[in-house]
Amino acid sequence: MLLNTWLLKLQIYLLRKPRFRLWATLENLKHDVLTAVEDSEINLPNLIFSYLSTAVFIPINFEKIYWKDVIESFYKVHGVTSTIRKIPITFNQSESKGDKDPWDYSNRLWPLYMHIIAKAYGWSDTKIAKLSVDNALAYIQEILTDKQLEKEFVWTMAEVAYVYDKSSKKSKFQPLTRPYWMITQKPNKKAPAVPKSLLPVGNIVRISNEIKEKV
Amino acid sequence: MKLKRKSKKLSFEEMWEVYRLFYSLNPSPLDIQRVVVIMYPNKVQLFKSPDEVLSSIIVGLYENEMEIFLGFVNGIK
């Protein structure tokens, strides 16, 4: 038990940023862990153990390790594998989070990302596997942006992009919908509506209006 | 003689099982029994009353720092 704990702690301490392929595999496994926790699945321990085993290089018997050490290692691996560069494709939130393609399968992240880069640049899978995570993700965003802008150009020339408005008797251009990471994220600053019954009685002097008038 | 019932240091698998059994909506007597077996594998026969079982489970949860485990689970949820 002690040897396993010691081995785990040492390997976690020596952990460095993974290359792209390992990172994609770890991200897939992490996603499985998060889903298992949400659904209180019985196989969560196995999923966490396979996540940690993928991150370390010497095999460990996790079954006898104190639970706190397992969780601590999970957080550390998660920290080391997090991306450094703020790339919109990684931090902007997709609204249709839960939607899965019917052709989706487990551990699809690596084949998908590898395919995107290989198709655009013609690189081999071994070369793509060794890329740094931040660079690979930046390349993917550039490839997808290019594709989207190309689609938008074609869209401007298509008849379906111009919807006929009966009232004005004119056609109006309907732009192509952009993916979530290409849309500027506006902070939701709208103040909550206060019910009339809770508003103070009497004249309300709005300071913001007074300032505007003075200016 | 007052019995000293120190609970076992649990592994992640055991902790997850305790969480699933004890924090389910209506844990059955069998679930409770299983939790006791996990926490006190060699001392189950020493428990005499349901109150003693429950208080020992609470001690076991405290000794295994269940609040940190719950923080991990709820943090992900």
pLDDT at B54 over 80: yes
A85: how many CB neighbours lie within 10 A of its CB?
12
- List average pLDDT for each run of 10 residues in chain A, which is 215 residues long: 87 93 94 91 94 92 91 94 84 67 89 96 97 95 96 93 89 90 77 77 69 60
Residue A33 lies in a domain: yes
Residue A191 lies in a domain: no
Q: Show residues of chain A in contact with B65, CB under 8 Å.
A: 68
Residue A122 lies in a domain: yes
Residue A43 lies in a domain: yes
Contact, A68 vs B68, CB < 8 A? yes
A15: how many CB neighbours lie within 10 A of its CB?
17
CB of B70 less than 8 A from some CB of A: no
pLDDT value at residue B50: 83
**Cross-chain residue pair A66–B9, CB shorter than 8 Å:** yes
Residues of A at the B interface (Cβ-Cβ below 8 Å)? 33-34, 37-38, 40, 42, 44-45, 48-49, 62-68, 70-71
Among the partner residues B11, B20, B68, nearest to A65 by beta-carbon distance = B11
Q: Show residues of chain A in contact with B13, CB under 8 Å.
A: 45, 63
Rounded CA gap, A125 and B7, in Å? 51
pLDDT at B58 over 60: yes
Residue A143 lies in a domain: yes
Contact, A19 vs A132, CB < 8 A? yes
Domain that holds residue A15: 2-85+105-153
Q: Show residues of chain B in contact with A70, CB under 8 Å.
A: 11-12
pLDDT value at residue A213: 62
Pick from B60, B69, B52: nearest CA to B35: B60
A177 backbone φψ class: left, alpha, beta (φ>0; ψ -120 to 50): beta
Rounded CA gap, A175 and A161, in Å? 7
Q: What is the tens place of the pLDDT at every residue in A9-48?
A: 999 999 999 999 999 999 999 999 999 999 889 999 999 9
Give me the mean pLDDT over the B40-69 stretch.
Answer: 85
B15: how many CB neighbours lie within 10 A of its CB?
26
Which residue of chain B is at minimal alpha-carbon distance from A43? B13
Strands (E), chain A: 162-165, 170-173
**Cross-chain residue pair B69–A38, CB shorter than 8 Å:** no
Among the partner residues B9, B13, B76, nearest to A63 by beta-carbon distance = B13
How do the domains of chain B map onto residue ranges?
A: 12-76
Which residue of chain B is at minimal alpha-carbon distance from A67? B12
pLDDT value at residue A152: 95
> For chain B, how far is it from start to end, CA to CA, in angstroms?
44
pLDDT value at residue A98: 62
C-alpha pair distances (Å), A137 with each of A64, A196, A213, B53: 37, 50, 50, 54
Q: B40-66: string of b/e by CB count within 10 Å (b at 16+)? A: beebeeebeeeeebeebbeebbeebeb
- Structure token digits, residue B48: 């005499």
Rounded CA gap, B46 and B41, in Å? 11
Q: Show residues of chain A in contact with B75, CB under 8 Å.
A: none
Q: What is the number of structural domains in chain A?
A: 1
Contact, A62 vs B14, CB < 8 A? no
Q: Show residues of chain A in contact with B11, CB under 8 Å.
A: 62-67, 70
CB of B65 less than 8 A from some CB of A: yes
Residue A56 lies in a domain: yes
Residue A168 lies in a domain: no
Rounded CA gap, A160 and A157, in Å? 9
Residue A134 lies in a domain: yes
DSSP sequence for B6-30: PPPPPBHHHHHHHHHHHTSSS--HH
Q: What is the tens place of the pLDDT at every residue in B1-41?
A: 444 567 888 999 999 999 999 988 888 888 998 999 899 88
Residue A7: which residues within 8 A CB-CB, separation 6 or more? A58, A60
Q: Show residues of chain B in contact with A37, CB under 8 Å.
A: 73, 76-77
**Strand, coil or helix: A56:** coil
**Cross-chain residue pair A40–B20, CB shorter than 8 Å:** yes
Q: How far is CA A47 from the centre of its chain?
A: 20
